[in-house]
Amino acid sequence: MKIKIIVLLLIWLCSTIIAQDKLVFGVNPYRNPEELRELYSELITYLEKSLNKEIVFVISKDYDHLVSLIENGSVDIASVSPKLFATLRHNVPNTHYLATLEMINENGQKESSYQGLIVTRADSSIVTLHDLRGKRFGFTDVSSTSGYVYPRFLMKQQGVDPLHDLSQTYMLKKHTKVLQALLEKSIDAGAVASGAYYNLSTEEQNKIRILATTEEIPLDVMIASSKLNPAFVDQIQQLLMHFSSHQTKNDAIVGFTQKPLTLYDRLNTLE
């Protein structure tokens, strides 16, 4: 009930903000709210200054929720997962692609793609994906590329059906939460983005064994609502392409790039 009230309040707030010529920036809840705010704070400040508009930062309650917010125009621009963008492109073809994020990887290099990992505890008896049968597995969200789509695809490739072969699957939304649940033995294995794994301390990384690594996945995508003025969308896109950060911290957003959209469309074909 309380969540319903919060969501309605959020929608009302968004509507009010639009009426007041403010810009709403939405993100998926794939990390803790504090982490997400910190991650996007530099970009938001940059956009606010460049556009001379106040930007309201909102975190959707789940992946699907963000889709509905974009569709009904409550969110103007958003950073979405590759899979979610692929779904959006399929369901709402006129969604504006703005740019793909560039982030600092674990080696301190700028890159616009990452990998998904299937992990277990180092002391676990699970050594291959076949050993996952009958085990408890933690995904993030069905719309998460590295937290669901690719791992599921990898398992299927190895002949493991997540729906039937795993004893129990849990949707944990946040990549960090998958890792924490794994360390606390609530699950036997899980799927996470490589960035989340490399953000762990060395001691924690040593407690985790990587069972499988996905192919390169393009990073999250900045999109704009179809309800925005195309000229304004172009302006935002130009600003994003000119955004450059000097941060060196792992997983920090340092810039944007353009990717062929077919890379994302491919995600819809993974089964």
Site for other proteins, rule CB under 8 A: 1-3, 29, 61-62, 136, 138, 142, 168-174, 177, 180-181, 183-187
The rounded Cα 267 to chain-centroid distance in angstroms is 14
Nearer to other proteins, 148 or 243 (CB): 148
Nearer to other proteins, 89 or 175 (CB): 175
Residue 85 CB, nearest approach to other proteins (Å): 21
- The residue (of 193 and 253) whose beta carbon lies closer to other proteins is 193
For other proteins, the closer CB: 99 or 187: 187
Q: How far is the CB of 137 from other proteins (least distance, A)?
A: 10
Rounded to whole angstroms, the Cα distance separating 165 from 144 reads: 21
Nearest distance, CB of residue 140 and other proteins, angstroms: 8
CA distance 255 to 260: 17
- What's the CA gap between 269 and 271, in Å, rounded? 6
Q: How far apart are CA 267 and CA 271, in angstroms?
A: 9
Burial environment of residue 232 by CB neighbours within 10 A (0 to 12, 13 to 18, 19 or more): middle
Tally of CB atoms within 10 A around 29: 18
**In terms of CB distance, is 82 or 138 closer to other proteins?**
138
For the bound state, the minimum distance from the C-beta of residue 229 to other proteins, rounded and expressed in Å, comes to: 35
User: Considering the complex, what minimum distance in angstroms separates the CB of residue 204 from other proteins?
Assistant: 13
